[in-house]
Amino acid sequence: MALAKNDKEERPILAVEERILEGLKIGLHIIAKIRGFRVAFTPVVYFYIELVAIDKHNDNQEIEIGFWPGMSNELREAQNTLKEIKERYKSVKIVHLKDPVYLN
């Protein structure tokens, strides 16, 4: 789930990153948030990052950008990925969980 490290080899840009850059370029407000789902009849929860854009010039229309690659059953890992996205794309707004997630 974590971002690829830029060491000596340059990695290709992810499709979702390309959509983030395109959205920012045309003035959309990009929002990243953690989403999760529970596997039926189990205590297992998976978390993923959802990205949406808000067009303030078009009546706050919400545009789905997509999902960050990867999924984790560790909330901390999803939170770290959000942090890395914010470090890479400073103008992306992070929406934090409002309610605690109960795993039991």
- Return phi, psi of residue 88, to 5°: -80, -40
What pLDDT is attached to residue 55?
A: 95
User: What pTM did the predictor assign?
Assistant: 0.76
Tokens of 26: 């045309």
Instruction: Collect the ranges in the chain with pLDDT lower than 70.
Output: 1-11, 97-104
Q: Could you tell me which of 4, 56, 69, 48 has the C-alpha nearest to residue 30?
A: 56
User: For residue 75, how far is the Cα from the chain centroid?
Assistant: 13
Give strand ranges (E) for the chain. 29-38, 45-55, 61-67, 93-95
What pLDDT is attached to residue 96?
A: 77
1 with 14: CB under 8 angstroms?
no
Per-domain boundaries in the chain = 31-95
26 with 91: CB under 8 angstroms?
no
Location of structure tokens 């996205």: 85
From residue 17, alpha-carbon distances to 13, 14, 24 in Å are 6, 5, 11
